[in-house]
Amino acid sequence: MPGNVLGERFVVVSFGESHGRCVGVVIDGCPAGLPLSEEDVQPLLDLRRPGQSAIATPRREEDRVEILSGVFRGHTTGAPIAMVVWNRDVDSRSYERLLNVPRPGHADYFARVRYGGFNDYRGGGRFSGRITAGFVMAGAVALKLLRVTLGIEVMAYVKQVGEVVAPELTVDEIREKRYSNEVRCPDEETAARMVELIKQVRASGDSIGSLVECIAVNVPVGLGEPVFSSLDADIARALFAIPAVKGVEFGRGFRAVGSRGSENNDPLTLVDGKVLPRTNNAGGIVGGLSTGREILVRVAFKPPASISKPQRTLNLSTMREEEVVVTGRHDPVIGPRAVPVVESMVGIVLADHAIRAGLIPPVLDPTRFRG
Amino acid sequence: MPGNVLGERFVVVSFGESHGRCVGVVIDGCPAGLPLSEEDVQPLLDLRRPGQSAIATPRREEDRVEILSGVFRGHTTGAPIAMVVWNRDVDSRSYERLLNVPRPGHADYFARVRYGGFNDYRGGGRFSGRITAGFVMAGAVALKLLRVTLGIEVMAYVKQVGEVVAPELTVDEIREKRYSNEVRCPDEETAARMVELIKQVRASGDSIGSLVECIAVNVPVGLGEPVFSSLDADIARALFAIPAVKGVEFGRGFRAVGSRGSENNDPLTLVDGKVLPRTNNAGGIVGGLSTGREILVRVAFKPPASISKPQRTLNLSTMREEEVVVTGRHDPVIGPRAVPVVESMVGIVLADHAIRAGLIPPVLDPTRFRG
Amino acid sequence: MPGNVLGERFVVVSFGESHGRCVGVVIDGCPAGLPLSEEDVQPLLDLRRPGQSAIATPRREEDRVEILSGVFRGHTTGAPIAMVVWNRDVDSRSYERLLNVPRPGHADYFARVRYGGFNDYRGGGRFSGRITAGFVMAGAVALKLLRVTLGIEVMAYVKQVGEVVAPELTVDEIREKRYSNEVRCPDEETAARMVELIKQVRASGDSIGSLVECIAVNVPVGLGEPVFSSLDADIARALFAIPAVKGVEFGRGFRAVGSRGSENNDPLTLVDGKVLPRTNNAGGIVGGLSTGREILVRVAFKPPASISKPQRTLNLSTMREEEVVVTGRHDPVIGPRAVPVVESMVGIVLADHAIRAGLIPPVLDPTRFRG
Amino acid sequence: MPGNVLGERFVVVSFGESHGRCVGVVIDGCPAGLPLSEEDVQPLLDLRRPGQSAIATPRREEDRVEILSGVFRGHTTGAPIAMVVWNRDVDSRSYERLLNVPRPGHADYFARVRYGGFNDYRGGGRFSGRITAGFVMAGAVALKLLRVTLGIEVMAYVKQVGEVVAPELTVDEIREKRYSNEVRCPDEETAARMVELIKQVRASGDSIGSLVECIAVNVPVGLGEPVFSSLDADIARALFAIPAVKGVEFGRGFRAVGSRGSENNDPLTLVDGKVLPRTNNAGGIVGGLSTGREILVRVAFKPPASISKPQRTLNLSTMREEEVVVTGRHDPVIGPRAVPVVESMVGIVLADHAIRAGLIPPVLDPTRFRG
């Protein structure tokens, strides 16, 4: 498959551009019988939407999802589900000017080489964070599917912005408070410090890095298809599709480098009659298979490349370096708006694997739904 | 595809078990005309082979590759290339005993659930590090293909073991000295300290984590197929197929979380007449596309789960916890033997993407090879 | 992949329903640099459109294609191309009534079983011939791509309706006259007899079978990826996606059963300095590879299942047989409207294989286009 | 995927050459828990084996299957199953001579162009009928899987050789007598006439075409994934992978061209309390979905290209036409030896689709097997 197709049995096809007519997605392989309407998709999309807070881009997009196919009388039919949001608030003026002055940290120049200059560079085109609206539409379907059939919940939040790190949080805190503030950190005190830092960084014309942590609970034992389609492998692949992701780790992740086996191994024990690892240094995945403990994955986001501080770059027509100031409307930090996107990507991969493992059948029986 | 198939155009199919008859691989999609014989594959396989050093498992396997198909008169034919190494030194006695006593940190129990108890658990079966012999056979072909057609080199080395970290190294140092010692760290002084630490850890019946860094040089601009088959996404997926990998990061990776955009962006400049990022915080990939700078990826390996120290686990027949001592033959650290495996996985992904991008044709012209 | 995704490198994703909001398609993998606008797609779509002739369904659809993504400043960008036609003239009344009375020859009941009754049955839903509007939109792009890069032409026509068979025709006759009449048979005299027969059949409340022959000229030697993605295998698969197709044969096809090798073999010879088979009993494909001669494929269409004659069927609520009269708006014969669909499917497969074979690069150079 | 990979969930990877070391196959995606040993595979392989009868090639190959992986303690493990037969009776002398004298009707020249002359041309290499030994090994596994889980049987036989056509046969006759004679036609009287004809044709230095009919019984309603992975589409694709296949039709197939809808439609009725089509003109597939009636597919084989009669061809070094006499060991007719191959390909596709439809789970419960 070319690069805009993800998954094996719950397959997501991404299309659309930042400043084109729309951003969209097609899901092929969603089981029949899932109750679904725009109302199931819109809330998650709203959480991703720009123009909502002082710490995000002022670009205003209504981002109303339209389901074009695959739903009939309130349920999925087993046919492909196409969904779009139409682009409204497009302002492409600033990009024309940047055509020969690639913005540092952006894919402008590399895309130009790859696509021979034919790519739609306006607003970053396919490389814009706006493309993730399509991920979220598909994610909302995947997350609902997981919830009603297996009781799986996927919950992400901002764990770190710059040097500000959230303390350990319980699953309940994450579930209830992750969307309670604009920075999407469930710990209010930390959130306040994060917001403070972000405003400061923005005021200085700069941007800042962030870290999103995501947990998935109620994942049954044994999801994943080793060796190449291991659960961690597929989650990592899907997360790297989100612009600005530079690292992915599970459980102790990079901290395992400094660990001894005797402290890092998770011994099995009985928890409420179920065989489970007592600790979760593995982040819920061993040998590419889910362990029954919560999946725990952390995603490093670089600081957004677009900053208003003057930067040096190469002018491709003069082939001389010059100063560039990136105007346009940008986020000073990615993590907060990426939270629903991370949940979506993890949800899409889990849905795909649950179907592959035979845990979700091709036709659902709504009378047996959870919750 | 099920989980044992990797890639789109240079496709790798893994088969075999740790204590079965063999470990093998099929490559489908390798271009015709590549000079190839067992001699091209054996050296990399030898670097992965067990039983070679004081810091590795004493299991002795000759690991002689046999090419079963796809090569005729010294060149690849365009047909699938099947390769195997036969298992010889198989000692499955200790595993029988562990059937109801899952080893902490291993996939034993989770695999048993997934495969209904039908999986070959001897020596870890498909979850053994031994499966990576197949990755290396395929990797050797991919790496040769990349070298002769595009001049690409992929070089990994052990950057860290426990708390011992290597200093910054030049590409030349990495190229020349990465296989010069048993711990595969090009800096001799650091290597000595790593070996010391590993021996100490082993003596205490324990194991230790490690970090492998990998660079790929001469990668042309624009490899990768965003948004889901981005170069970093596909490399990450392939690396997570290696047992014990818990994290993957590119360039500054997780350190970008604490960075400002103004310091993290890599401005473009002219280097010897070529447009290139001046710095390489991105690790050679932006927007999922290669930038022309070296790919820089870091892989975190957890400490091996098999340790001789007594550990608690659950006995699945009595459903009571008991003590287990894992005998058998094991590595106290994974990084050193994983170095050729990391090179292989990165090579496989780059070969796949170079073919997808049309940079390597279906039929090679040996008169135009490099070097 | 689930069933709505076709191809490897020029990938077509179908979505939409007969009586839903739209019928659409996404192409992923179309090279960048192809001049493209709605004007390139509309003419082929018009040839497929219903409501155009006395021998076709009176359903009236404007079928104006809208390109939603993947085109910028008149050229493809290398990003996914999403296209839709909106459904307008939807009359679903008659279908409600048929819910428990499956129409003989239709997929109604089998789809109901497969999708647990959740499928959109109106107008046949995904099983309607209307879905092929999406095939034609993708086909128009594929056919233009083949034409400008390789000079390949794909041309289909109605060879037979019932017992009326067209005589042998030259490539020029097919090229110039295949769309010159409503029945799409280049031989006017035969066409007249076909129309006569169709009208007669329709008047009797019945329908009739037909055969479409398709040739592709200027196909280079060696397209196809044996053994499973042979050129004939992939063309056959794609053609069976068209509703009502019951047989596919290449060259002499089923007539080869009665042949001797000495008469069926096509000896090689020199034609204008090129090595080519002198005869073309093989239909341009041997061993799954194109031979340089024209691809010749024949497609058998059954008579449309919808007929106005009373038929017996089973009432699924009473579980008794009863008589059903299928009203609605239907074609009495499929071949004529299927001609552009057959051209599209063959074009899609050839484009996919030409890209896979490296004959069409990821970025086109419009200065080197043919014609 | 490149061309040597077939299927989505029950995936078959073909490797090996006619005169190389072996012919082999890897199955990825076979459920765990299927009782399997070489004894399950060998019988079907024996039915395909050369050197067995007066009407087949005298090449003698023992063709003993070796299972290299994926089976443990007599059951499949869920891991990839690799199988090989080693080539023994290789006589490549005659092929050297033909290098510049492409045999009419063979892929020699077209493969040479495609693979730049690097292909292993000995014995036809990858284009040899011998490659189907791999299909049969995989097919034997698929057929056993279908039989024990769903009670599906797949049965093929020779329906026609040249002008000699078998009469209508019952399922029981086909089941019991299809392998009772060397020509694999269950009707003894017809079989005798076929053998007579074949001997006559061989004596004259010629070869002859044939037709194989295949039925699959007990196929549940609703298998298939329209629109592109319809059951007929996938069966057709798989059958065209068999060398020398020139046409595939379902049910009435090409005869539907001359039919009226009123005679071709299959009305639903109740049979033993089950909803089924009363007639089976559709061949068990409507709208790409199985109908519950037997799948009925017919496959046209051209006469083998290798004949001992002198033929004209082009000498590629002199670029002049000359006479060629194809020596070597060849079959005068393909149908009889293709019977187990056709059963295998249909079985592989049905197994893949049954898994995709959730009808066969990833782990089998041997206590619930049929029969």
- Closest residue in chain B to residue C2, using alpha carbons only: B1
Per-residue confidence (pLDDT) for residue C17, from 0 to 100: 97
Q: pLDDT tens for residues A228-272?
A: 999 999 999 999 999 999 999 999 999 999 999 999 999 999 988
- On average, the pLDDT of chain A sits at 94
Sequence-distant (≥ 6) Cβ neighbours of residue C34 within 8 angstroms:
C75, C76, C141, C144, C145, C148, C364
Residue A310 has pLDDT above 80, yes or no: yes
Q: How far is C247 from chain D (nearest CA, A)?
A: 4
Per-residue confidence (pLDDT) for residue A71, from 0 to 100: 98
Dihedral sign for Cα atoms in the order A163, A169, A175, A181: negative
Question: What CA–CA distances, in Å, run from D208 to A99, A119, D123, D202, D313?
Answer: 66, 55, 20, 9, 20
Task: Extract the runs of DSSP E, i.e. beta strands, from C119-273.
Answer: 153-161, 164-165, 210-217, 245-250, 268-271
Q: pLDDT tens for residues A118-141?
A: 999 998 999 999 999 999 999 999
Per-residue confidence (pLDDT) for residue D189, from 0 to 100: 98
Q: pLDDT tens for residues B81-92?
A: 999 999 987 777
Q: How many CB pairs under 8 A join A and B?
A: 354
Q: How confident is the model at residue B10 (pLDDT cuts 50, 70, 90)?
A: very high
- Annotate C154-175 with DSSP letters as a single string: EEEEEEEETTEE-----HHHHH
Q: How many CB pairs under 8 A join A and D?
A: 10
- Closest residue in chain B to residue C10, using alpha carbons only: B356
Residue A361, burial from CB neighbour count under 10 angstroms (0-12, 13-18, 19+): middle
- Tell me, what DSSP letter sits at residue D168? -
- Overall average pLDDT of the B102-119 stretch: 94
* CATH 3.60.150.10, applies to A5-362: yes
Instruction: Measure the CA–CA gap between B10 and D284, rounded to whole angstroms.
Output: 37
Q: How many CB pairs under 8 A join A and C?
A: 169
| Residue % of chain D over a pLDDT of 90 | 85
- On average, the pLDDT of chain C sits at 94
Residue A60 has pLDDT above 90, yes or no: no
Say whether pTM exceeds 0.95: yes
Residue B60 has pLDDT above 80, yes or no: no
Per-residue confidence (pLDDT) for residue B352, from 0 to 100: 98
- CATH topology assigned to domain D5-368: Chorismate synthase, AroC fold (3.60.150)
Instruction: Measure the CA–CA gap between D258 and D124, rounded to whole angstroms.
Output: 39
Tell me whether residues D77 and B14 touch, CB distance under 8 A. Answer: no
Read off the tokens for D348.
Answer: 């592989």
- The least confident of C192-201, C229-238, C318-327, D194-203 is C318-327
- On average, the pLDDT of chain D sits at 94
Q: pLDDT tens for residues A265-301?
A: 999 999 889 999 999 999 999 999 999 999 999 999 9
Question: What CA–CA distances, in Å, run from B42 to A126, B369, C89, C287, D104?
Answer: 43, 22, 67, 34, 41
Residue A72 has pLDDT above 70, yes or no: yes
Tell me whether residues C68 and A82 touch, CB distance under 8 A. Answer: no
Q: Does A125 touch chain B (CB under 8 A)?
A: no
Instruction: Measure the CA–CA gap between C363 and C33, rounded to whole angstroms.
Output: 6
A residues 300-319 closer than 8 Å to B (CB): 300-307, 309, 311-314, 316, 319
- Annotate D295-359 with DSSP letters as a single string: EEEEEEEPPPS--SS-EEEEETTTTEEEEE---S---S-SHHHHHHHHHHHHHHHHHHHHHHTTS
Q: pLDDT tens for residues B36-54?
A: 999 999 999 999 987 667 6
- Overall average pLDDT of the A316-331 stretch: 84
Subunit partners of chain D (3 or more CB pairs within 8 A): A, B, C
Q: How far is C362 from chain A (nearest CA, A)?
A: 8
Sequence-distant (≥ 6) Cβ neighbours of residue D267 within 8 angstroms:
C104, C311, C312, C313, C314, C321, D277, D278, D279
Per-residue confidence (pLDDT) for residue B325, from 0 to 100: 83
Q: How confident is the model at residue B333 (pLDDT cuts 50, 70, 90)?
A: very high
Q: How confident is the model at residue D223 (pLDDT cuts 50, 70, 90)?
A: very high
Residue A91 has pLDDT above 90, yes or no: no
Sequence-distant (≥ 6) Cβ neighbours of residue A3 within 8 angstroms:
B224, B225, B226, B227, B228, B229, B230, B288, C28
- Overall average pLDDT of the C37-54 stretch: 88
- Tell me, what DSSP letter sits at residue D207? -
Contacting residues of D for C269, CB less than 8 Å apart: 312, 314, 321
Per-residue confidence (pLDDT) for residue C100, from 0 to 100: 85
Q: How far is D208 from chain C (nearest CA, A)?
A: 5
Instruction: Measure the CA–CA gap between C186 and C171, rounded to whole angstroms.
Output: 10
| Residue % of chain A over a pLDDT of 70 | 97
> Look-up: residue for tokens 């298998």?
D223
- Closest residue in chain C to residue A365, using alpha carbons only: C116
Subunit partners of chain C (3 or more CB pairs within 8 A): A, B, D
Read off the tokens for B199.
Answer: 């021996």
Q: pLDDT tens for residues D72-129?
A: 999 999 999 999 999 987 777 766 777 788 889 999 999 999 999 999 999 899 999 9
**Would the ipTM clear 0.90, i.e. be above it?**
yes
Read off the tokens for A317.
Answer: 């027509």
SS3 readout for D278-308: CCCCCCCEECCEECCCCEEEEEEECCCCCCC
Instruction: Measure the CA–CA gap between D236 and C60, rounded to whole angstroms.
Output: 34
A residues 63-122 closer than 8 Å to C (CB): 68-70, 72, 75-82, 84, 114-116, 118-120, 122
- Overall average pLDDT of the B131-145 stretch: 98
Per-residue confidence (pLDDT) for residue B329, from 0 to 100: 65
Per-residue confidence (pLDDT) for residue C98, from 0 to 100: 72
D348 closest CA partner among D21, D44, D69, D62: D44
Question: How many other CB atoms are there within 10 angstroms of residue D180's CB atom?
Answer: 14
Instruction: Measure the CA–CA gap between A191 and A173, rounded to whole angstroms.
Output: 13
Read off the tokens for C342.
Answer: 């057959």
Contacting residues of B for D28, CB less than 8 Å apart: 1-5, 13, 15
- On average, the pLDDT of chain B sits at 94
Per-residue confidence (pLDDT) for residue C285, from 0 to 100: 98
CA A74 to chain centre: 27
Residue C59 has pLDDT above 90, yes or no: no
Q: How confident is the model at residue C327 (pLDDT cuts 50, 70, 90)?
A: confident
Question: What CA–CA distances, in Å, run from C229 to C28, C152, C287, D1, D224?
Answer: 19, 20, 11, 9, 19
- Closest residue in chain C to residue A35, using alpha carbons only: C118
Q: pLDDT tens for residues D272-294?
A: 899 999 999 999 999 999 999 99
Per-residue confidence (pLDDT) for residue C162, from 0 to 100: 98
Read off the tokens for A146.
Answer: 């997981």
Q: Does C287 touch chain B (CB under 8 A)?
A: no
Quick one: which H or E segment has residue D111? Answer: helix D108-114
Per-residue confidence (pLDDT) for residue D214, from 0 to 100: 98
